[in-house]
């Protein structure tokens, strides 16, 4: 087990190194940089001023030197300065992380709390009207785009309550704070809940057809013991995998939701930084999302051994 953990940690470091190289190179092969954008917006180009600005930002150095400077600062906790706001990148990023974390956490909680029980219910009632209804709802959740569902929720809120739950940094009450995050979390979590429900249903149906389930029934085990202790536990691996993937996706995939609900999270900020070629912000945000993804995958691998005792990682 220890050897497996060491190998997985080494693989995580290699993955993060590869991602850092890819995002660094891709940003710089895209035509134009922050200097070009600023001078184009001003309507004139003074070669001397442009050269001075590039030198001040370090863009006149080679890509290798720029990369080593960025990685060296990253290892020492120095994320550099934003080209647009001229503030430390850490000061720009840190206030936005809790906002996205709350939204993603609530969306994941909603998708898991709704998707797993409904998936189990759909599998146990296979072929019934309830099963067909739940499958239709899950299909609609996978089919509706997040931005369209968000707009529908906003219009319904205005029609029913005369207002819409727009983001405010200082909510006046607990109810307002719940509405600020829960409404967009349900909008983005609806698709995740539909996916979790369908995976849970498929996994449960596959396990319920196994021989040991029929043996448990023949021995007189109760339906609750069969369904939850045997079937659900042994069918958790695909469910855990999907939940882990969704957890990683939600941190970087909330661009549309944060834009529709005017939430200043890291996903929306990343798009703005890409548009302005704000290299320090983009590089650090992408690395943050990459760390979340690899940690989510590592956690999923560790949970495999917890939920399925047949899995044993050897040195």
Residues 15, 133, single domain; the answer is no
Number of domains in the chain: 2
Residues 108, 234, single domain; the answer is yes
Residues 181, 196, single domain; the answer is yes
Poorest-pLDDT segment among 112-116, 212-216, 307-311: 307-311
**Does residue 134 sit within a domain?**
yes
pLDDT at position 61 is 76
**Does residue 178 sit within a domain?**
yes
Q: Are 150 and 260 in contact (CB under 8 A)?
A: yes
Residues 103, 227, single domain; the answer is yes
pLDDT at position 259 is 78
Residues 108, 202, single domain; the answer is yes
Residues 72, 108, single domain; the answer is no
Q: Are 141 and 150 in contact (CB under 8 A)?
A: no
**Does residue 69 sit within a domain?**
yes
Q: Specify the higher pLDDT residue, 246 or 308.
A: 246
Residues 124, 178, single domain; the answer is yes
Range of the domain at 154: 97-266+302-307
Residues 139, 56, single domain; the answer is no
**Does residue 293 sit within a domain?**
no
Supply the mean pLDDT for the chain.
Answer: 81
- Residue of 257, 266, 245 whose CA lies nearest to 188: 257
Residues 143, 173, single domain; the answer is yes
pLDDT at position 286 is 86
Residue whose structure tokens are 């550099």: 80
Residues 127, 227, single domain; the answer is yes
DSSP string, 240-305: HHHHHHHHHHHHHS-HHHHHHTT---HHHHHHHHHHTT-HHHHHHHHHHHHHHHHHHHHHHHHHHH
Q: What mean pLDDT is predicted for residues 171-176?
A: 74
**Does residue 282 sit within a domain?**
no
pLDDT tens readout for residues 252-293 = 667 778 877 788 888 888 888 887 777 788 888 888 888 888
pLDDT at position 199 is 92
């Amino acid at each position: 087990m220890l050897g497996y953990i060491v190998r997985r940690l080494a693989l995580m470091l290699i993955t993060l190194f590869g991602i850092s190289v890819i995002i660094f190179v891709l940003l710089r092969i895209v035509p134009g940089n922050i200097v070009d954008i600023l001078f184009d917006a001003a309507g004139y180009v003074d070669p001397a001023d442009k050269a001075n600005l590039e030198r001040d930002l370090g863009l006149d150095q080679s890509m290798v030197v720029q990369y080593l400077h960025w990685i060296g600062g990253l290892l020492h906790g120095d994320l550099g300065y934003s080209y647009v706001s001229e503030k430390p990148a850490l000061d720009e990023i840190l206030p936005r992380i809790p906002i996205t974390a709350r939204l993603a956490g609530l969306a994941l909680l909603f998708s898991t709390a709704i998707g797993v029980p409904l998936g189990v219910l759909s599998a146990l009632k296979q072929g019934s009207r309830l099963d067909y209804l739940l499958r239709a709802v899950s299909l609609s959740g996978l089919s509706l785009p997040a931005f369209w569902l968000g707009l529908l929720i906003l219009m319904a809120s205005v029609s029913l309550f005369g207002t819409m739950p727009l983001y405010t940094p200082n909510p006046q009450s607990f109810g307002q704070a719940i509405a600020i995050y829960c409404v967009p979390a349900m909008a983005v979590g609806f698709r995740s809940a539909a996916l979790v429900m369908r995976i849970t249903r498929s996994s449960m149906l596959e396990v319920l057809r196994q021989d040991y389930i029929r043996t448990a029934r023949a021995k007189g085990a109760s339906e609750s013991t069969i369904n939850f202790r045997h079937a659900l536990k042994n069918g958790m691996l695909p469910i855990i995998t999907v939940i882990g993937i969704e957890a990683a996706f939600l941190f970087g995939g909330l661009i549309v939701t944060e834009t529709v609900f005017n939430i200043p999270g890291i996903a929306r900020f990343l798009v703005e930084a890409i548009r302005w070629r704000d290299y320090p912000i983009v590089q650090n945000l992408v690395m943050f999302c990459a760390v979340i993804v690899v940690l989510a995958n590592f956690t999923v691998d560790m949970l495999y051994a917890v939920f399925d005792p047949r899995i044993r990682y050897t040195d």
